Amino acid sequence: MRHGADYSVYINIGQEFNGSDSGTRPDEDISWGKVRAGSESVKVFADATLVCPMTVAATLAKAHGTIG
Q: Is 62 a catalytic residue?
A: no
Residue 35 CB neighbours (<10 A): 23
Burial-class residue 52 by CB neighbours within 10 Å (0-12, 13-18, 19+).
Answer: middle
Which one is catalytic: 34, 39, 46, 55? 34
Positions marked catalytic: 34
